[in-house]
Structure 1
Amino acid sequence: MDVINIGPLALPIPPLVLLGSGVIGVAVGKWAGRSGQIDIEPLLWKIALASLFSARLAFVLLYIDIYKTNLLSMLDIRDGGFVVPVGLLIAFAVTAWYAWRERGKRKGVLLAVTAGASFWVAATVATAVWYTPPAQMPQVTLTRLDGTPVPLQTLTGKPIVLNLWATWCPPCRREMPVLRDAQVRHPDVNFIFANQGEAAEAVRHYLESERLDLKNVLLDARLQVGQQLGSVAMPTTLFFNAQGRLVDRRLGELSAATLEQSIKLLRNPE
């Protein structure tokens, strides 16, 4: 899986890998500067912050038309909106600048950044090898709110956004209007809202109280979809192409911008 489950918590692995890279980089930097009593940790923080800020800024600029309707949402990095190549490029550029400018700290900075980057690459590759998600839409039958059975395979033929959610899940509730609006904007995409383990009456009451007009609201009473796809956390959103092949997966709350990013990938997987 690409998440670590601790009781009711589901922690996505990529941020943990990034955190581990930072910890290792700082530890190596402290070790390298110990003999000369050189503290390079402030420089490492500057490199990390410059990298993260640049990666976030690049993403915001790519989707500025969406973010400008809610400027404060630019600061909400929980949506995972970053352009990783830009962040890496800035990290290496700032590292090179400090290595040239701070000659007394050059060795420690280079060792720390190399160690952190090596861990990130190794852990990312290991995760990709270890976790291979099911490639196809699961062959399960869910039900509509009126009890009509719906085999998921019958909904292929268009790109699919499959959202796993529950009415008691706060981030699920927060992202639902974003998904609703996207369903209207993208009629060429099938949006499927697979409720996890709740009764039809509870789901119907929630939709009515929130005035949510959604198509393809289905009940997954036995949590079959999440079990087959290794997605027990909520919300999780999965993106399948028209042939039912998994293209992308997002754990956690989506913003309008990150949803648009995944839909773009869905249409252009290459």
Structure 2
Amino acid sequence: MPTVIDLGGLLIATDKLAFVLFALLSIWAVGRLGRSFGASDAFLGRTAERAILAGIVGARIAFVAENPSVYRQAPFSALYFWQPGYVVWAGLAAGAVYVGLAIADRGAWRSNLAILASGILLPLALYLIAIATSGQFLGPNRLRVGQPAPPLALVDLNGDPVSLKALRGHPVILNIWATWCYACREEMPLLSRTYQKYRGSGLELVGVDLAESEPRVRVFLDQIPVSYPIWLDPPSSAGQAAPSPTNAFFAKAGGVGLPTTIFIGKRGIIRSIAIGELTRPALAIELRKLGVSRHPRNADAPPQQPDPAASRA
């Protein structure tokens, strides 16, 4: 199942769509079962709605409690519920507690509990399966979570050869971007701060420009400098247009939208693939998956120009 679904150019995250379907199906099923068994379908439907809301809030609070540094600079961003950053087990617990409290004071609580459980558990199981299989069961040529990252040989801004293979042994964030991509421009400061903060602990972060010329990329980086190395397609030989390795790699990663970010573990195994602009919570989740620990480097230091030697193959 893809991590993002393309609906005529509109990109919808699979996990968000799955949650909306779970919520709607649960509320409908509980109300339908309540009417079938002669119970108060209004009460049961309302309880299901509020249990789901309690689950959302509980899952968010748990994530914020686990990652206080993510929200230290912008505390109100914890209220941006449309952004990633939830602890599923905490949400399930919060929803279950609300259901227990809501039906405890009413008669026939056993039958109400049975109806609520019957209406919610199947949609919940389908939702958990959907998020667990996100990024799996794709075409044979597509990058998938759990498989080794394919080879990628490019050049840096000085024209020196670089390769993904040379980064083996380090956790890697591979960010595919382009100068014309507004979302890429918006997330670059976050990526720069992240690289400065964690590079001392072994993190490698590389920006892979999508099939653009070196002069164009340099002009862009003069306006928006970054602290991490930038890789480009090798120059065409003998004036002939050569196949673009970055385009081919982007197609394997889904080819849906920019930016596309691939998170790779120390052993070269893909841990996750994110499509769209990264947020601080989303990046915190991925860094934890990669096992990257905080380094005392000052995250607020001014961006530095990329060091070509740091990414040389």
Q: How does 1:210-229 map to 2 (within 5 A)?
A: 210=224, 212-219=225-232, 221=244, 222-229=246-253
Partner of 1:175: 187
More helix by share: 1
CA contact (8 A) 2:189 2:226 kept: no
Give the corresponding residue for 1:152. Answer: 164
Q: Does structure 1 residue 238 correspond to structure 2 residue 239?
A: no
1:105-184 maps to which residues of 2 (within 5 A)? 105-124=112-131, 127=134, 130-131=137-138, 132-133=144-145, 135-184=147-196
Pairing 1:1-270 to 2, within 5 Å after superposition = 1-35=2-36, 36=38, 38-39=41-42, 40-103=44-107, 105-124=112-131, 127=134, 130-131=137-138, 132-133=144-145, 135-187=147-199, 188-210=202-224, 212-219=225-232, 221=244, 222-230=246-254, 232-267=256-291
Superposed displacement of residue 84, structure 1: 1.3
Helix, strand or coil: the match of 2:64?
A: helix
Report the count of equivalent residues: 267
Query: What's the offset of the Cα at 1:202?
Result: 3.0
- CA separation of 1:16/1:257 partners in 2, compared to 1, >3 Å: closer, same or farther? closer
- Is this contact kept in 1: 2:85–2:282, CA < 8 A? yes
Does the residue aligned with 2:41 lie in a helix, a strand or coil?
coil
Provide closer, same or farther for how the CA distance between residues 13 and 207 of structure 1 changes in structure 2, counting only shifts above 3 A: same
TM-score, scaled relative to structure 2: 0.76
**Structure 1 pair 4/170, CA: closer, same or farther in 2 (3 Å)?**
same
Give me the identity figure in percent: 25
CA distance in 2, matches of 1:159, 1:13: 25
Q: Which amino acid aligns with 1:71?
A: P
1:143 Cα offset (Å): 2.7
Q: Tell me, which stretches of 5 or more residues in structure 2 are unaligned?
A: 139-143, 234-243, 293-313
Provide the rounded CA distance (Å) in 2 between the counterparts of 1:180 and 1:93: 42
2:236 is matched with none
Q: What code does the residue aligned with 1:83 have?
A: V
1:93-139 Cα shifts (integer Å, max 9, x gaps)? 22233343344654542332223213223434555763444612221
Distance between the aligned counterparts of 1:77 and 1:201, measured in 2? Answer: 40
Inter-partner Cα distance in structure 1 for 2:262 and 2:106: 46
Local SS of the residue matching 2:273: strand
- Give the Å deviation of 1:87: 0.9
Structure 1 residues 247 and 108: alpha-carbon distance in aligned structure 2, compared to 1, 3 A threshold: same
The more displaced of 121-130 and 15-24 is 121-130
Query: In the TM superposition, what is the alpha-carbon distance from 1:162 to its structure 2 partner?
Result: 0.9
1:98 and 1:106 in contact (8 A); partners too = no
Deviation at 1:167, TM superposition (A): 2.7
Q: Distance in 1 between matches of 2:136 and 2:187?
A: 31
The worse-fitting range, judged by mean Cα deviation, of 237-246 and 36-45 is 36-45
- Range with greater deviation from structure 2 (240-249 or 130-139): 130-139
- Are the structure 2 counterparts of residues 117 and 178 from structure 1 closer, same or farther at C-alpha, using a change threshold of 3 Å? same
- Distance in 1, Cα, partners of 2:247 & 2:107: 58
User: Cα RMSD (Å) of the superposition?
Assistant: 2.5
Q: Indicate if the aligned counterparts of 2:188 and 2:226 stay in contact, CA closer than 8 A.
A: no
Do the aligned partners of 1:29 and 1:112 also contact (CA within 8 Å) in 2?
A: yes
